[in-house]
Structure 1
Amino acid sequence: MAAPTAPRAYAAVDLGASSGRVVLGARRGAAWEFEEVHRFTNEVVDTHRGDAWDLERLFAETLTGLARAVARCAARGEQLAGIGVDSWGVDWVLRAPDGEIELPGRSYRGAPDPAPAIAARGLSGVSSAEAFAVTGVPDQAINTALRLADEAGQRTFSGEQLLFIPDLWLFWLTGVVGTDPTIASTSQLFAAHAGAFSAPLAAAHGLAGFRLPPVAPVASLVGALAPELRERIGAATEVPVYRVAGHDTAAAFAFAEPVAGGATEALISSGTWSLVGGALPEPVTTPEAAALGFTNERGASGTLLLRNLTGLWMLQECLREWGAGTQERDALLAEVESAPFDARTFDTSAPELLHAGDMEARVRRLCAAAGRPLAESRASVVHAIIDSLAVAYAAGVDAFARLSGASVDRIRIVGGGSRNARLCRLTAELARLPVLAGPTEASAIGNVALQALASGEVAHAQDVFAAIDPAHTRHFQYPNTDQARDAEEPQQ
Structure 2
Amino acid sequence: MNKCSLAIDIGASSGKLVAGYVENEKLKLKEVHRFENTIMKKGDHFCWDLESLFKEIKKGIHACREQGLKPESIGIDTWAVDFVLLDENDALLTDAVAYRDSRTDGMMEEVFTHISKERLYLETGIQFQKFNTIYQLHALKKSNPEILEKAKTFLMIPDYLNYLLSGVKANEYTNATTTQLVNAFTKKWDKDLLDQLGINKDMFQEILPPTSSLGNLKAELVKEFGFDMNVLLPATHDTGSAVVSVPEADDTIYISSGTWSLIGVENNFPICVTKALDYNFTNEGGFDYRFRFLKNIMGLWMIQEVKRNYHNTYSFAEFVGLANQEIDFHSKVNVDDDRFLKPENMIEEIQTYCAETAQSIPQNPGQVAKCVFDSLAVSYQTAINQIEEVYEKDFQTINVIGGGAQNEMLNQLIADTTKKEVLAGPVEATAIGNVVSQLITLDEIKGLKEARNIIKNSFELEKYTSKKKVEGLR
Residue of structure 2 equivalent to 1:315: 303
* TM-score using structure 2 length: 0.92
* Letter matched to residue 35 of structure 2: F
1:131 aligns with 2:120: yes
Return the alpha-carbon distance in structure 1 between the equivalents of residues 374 and 108 of structure 2. 35
- Equivalent position SS for 2:208: coil
Aligned position for 1:87 = 78
Write out aligned runs for 1:164-203 (5 A): 164-203=156-195
Cα distance between partner residues in 2 of 1:369 and 1:150: 32
Could you tell me the percent identity over the aligned residues?
27
**Number of positions where the alignment pairs a residue of Structure 1 with one of Structure 2:** 464
Give 1:479 deviation, angstroms: 6.5
2:171–2:204 contact (8 Å) kept in structure 1: no
* 1:365 aligned residue: 352
Residue 12, structure 1, aligned to residue 3, structure 2: no
The residue type equivalent to 1:44 in the other structure is I
Distance (Å, rounded) in 2 between the aligned partners of 1:254 and 1:395: 24
User: Which residue, 398, 414, 419 being the options, matches 2:406?
Assistant: 419
Tell me the alpha carbon deviations over residues 161-213 of structure 1, each in whole angstroms, 9 at most, x when there is no partner.
21001101111100111122110011010111221110111122221365111
Counterpart selection for 1:143 from 128, 132, 136: 132
- How far the C-alpha of 1:406 sits from its partner, in A, is 4.3
Aligned residue for 1:152, secondary structure, equals helix
> Match of 2:199, as an amino acid?
L
**Paired amino acid for 1:268:** I
Distance 1:446 1:71 in 2: 25
Q: CA deviation at 1:470?
A: 5.7
SS at 2:160's partner residue? helix
**Counterpart residue number, 2:24:** 29
Decide whether aligned partners of structure 1 residues 113 and 101 sit closer, same or farther in structure 2, where only a CA change above 3 A counts: closer
Superposition deviation, residue 146 in structure 1: 0.9
Could you tell me which residue of structure 2 aligns to residue 242 of structure 1? 232
Superposed CA deviations along residues 292-328 of structure 1, whole A, max 9, x for unmatched, are 1211101113110111111101110111121115x64
- Deviating above 6 A after TM superposition, structure 1's stretches of 4 or more consecutive aligned residues are none
**3-state DSSP of counterpart to 2:380:** helix
CA pair 478-329 structure 1, distance change in 2 beyond 3 A: closer
| 1:249/1:443 contact within 8 Å kept | yes
Partners of 1:209 and 1:239 lie apart in 2 by 32
Task: Verify the 8 A CA contact 2:326 2:367 in the aligned structure 1.
Answer: no
Choose from 403, 427, 446 the match for 1:459: 446
Query: Could you tell me which amino acid in structure 1 is paired with residue 165 of structure 2?
Result: L
Structure 2 matches for 1:57-96, cutoff 5 A? 57-74=52-69, 79-96=70-87
Map of 2:472 onto structure 1 = none
How much has 1:106 moved relative to structure 2? Answer: 0.6
> Using the alignment, how far apart are the partners of 2:195 and 2:391 within structure 1?
32
Distance of aligned partners of 1:343 and 1:394 in 2 relative to their CA distance in 1, 3 Å threshold: farther
Taking structure 1 as reference, are residues 34 and 370 closer, same or farther at Cα in structure 2, changes over 3 Å only?
A: farther
Supply the distance in 1 between the matched residues of 2:21 and 2:325 (Cα, whole angstroms).
38
Distance 1:445 1:439, change over 3 A: same
Measured after TM superposition, the shift of residue 116 of structure 1 is 4.3
User: What is the rounded CA distance, in whole Å, between the counterparts of 1:293 and 1:123 in structure 2?
Assistant: 19
CA–CA distance in structure 2, aligned partners of residues 428 and 341 of structure 1: 19
Please tell me whether the aligned partners of residues 95 and 161 of structure 1 are also in contact (alpha carbons under 8 angstroms). yes
1:248-397 aligned at under 5 Å gives the runs 248-256=238-246, 263-301=250-288, 302-324=290-312, 328-337=315-324, 339-340=326-327, 344-397=331-384
Is the alpha carbon distance of 1:84 and 1:158 closer, same or farther for their aligned partners in structure 2, counting shifts above 3 Å? same
1:249 Cα deviation from its structure 2 partner: 0.3
* Alpha-carbon offset, residue 49 of structure 1: 4.8
